[in-house]
Amino acid sequence: MADGTAPDRAPDAAPRGLRALGPVGLVLAGGISVQFGGALAVSLMPRAGALGVVTLRLAVAAIVLMVICRPSLRGHSRADWGTVVVFGVTMAAMNGLFYQSVARIPLGPAVTLEVLGPLALSVLASRRALNLVWAGLALGGVFLLGGGGGFDGLDPVGVAFALSAGVMWAAYIVFSARTGRRFPQADGLALAMAVAAVVFFPLGVIESGDKLLNPTTIALGAAVAVLSSVLPYTLELLALRRLPASTFAVLMSLEPAIASVAGFLVLSQALSMTEAMAIALVIGASMGAVRTQIGRGKAKSLDA
């Protein structure tokens, strides 16, 4: 799962080792980090529970981002705070629903279903007839993923959670953009992450209780936070300094494939040929929708 879009400004300088990767390499490294972080989170769930893992991830990520960004709490309007609060609640819901999903179904199919949210947003925003083709490909992938449309091979509750997480991901994209316009650099992201951590904290305590105080659990939860939030945001920031947003969006469409590899290597979650074809269809639909949106933007620029 890509936890979000990167804040709108990057640091002035990047470490030489990261610069050597190139912008595409940075994006792919961020995607690998997110999905292997997700796989680590799944392995941590028997110890801390799904809600407990989300609580640790959000709390550690919030602390790190608040320390790094040191956002100002003054000078913001009521509308600014309303936007960041809604953004934080959306972030909490997206993570909670997704982790409930991967607790029930394999990581690859879960990310594939989740990515339908941003895909639907892209299709609706474009309003071009060609997007019906991409929507059809995506539906074909969902049909295959569900074992012929009935989701016989997947837990229906896990499927519902993944689709709901996709809706929240689409909402996340909308409120991430609004927050970025209202707050400088990554300040809005840091504040929203803090809101998400506060909102989710009671749920984690109710489910996991003092399990969250176990040093090993805390260490693993911190690793999940770094892999799934802190490191990907940093890599995406660096990449977006030299990479067009359109190319970035296409690369993000590869998330289901990366998730499938992470699920196989870390969790031994093998995919059937049908499931692999389903994921490929959804990836193709996502890439096609992004490219169509890019073409529409270029046509508007030429007409202007």
Cα distance from N-terminal residue to C-terminal residue, the chain: 37
Distance CA 138, CA 256 (A): 13
**DSSP secondary structure, 133-193, as one string:** HHHHHHHHHHHHHTTTTT-TTS-HHHHHHHHHHHHHHHHHHHHHHHHHHHSSTTHHHHHHH
The pLDDT tens digits for 120-155 are 776 676 666 676 677 777 777 776 666 554 455 788
Contacts of 150 (CB under 8 A, 6+ apart): none
Q: CB of 56 within 8 A of CB of 212? A: yes
Positive/negative CA dihedral, 97, 98, 104, 110: positive
- Which tens digit of pLDDT belongs to each residue from 62-115? 999 999 889 988 888 999 999 999 999 999 999 999 999 999 998 888 888 888
Q: What pTM does this model have?
A: 0.78
The answer to whether 125 and 276 have CB atoms below 8 angstroms apart is: no
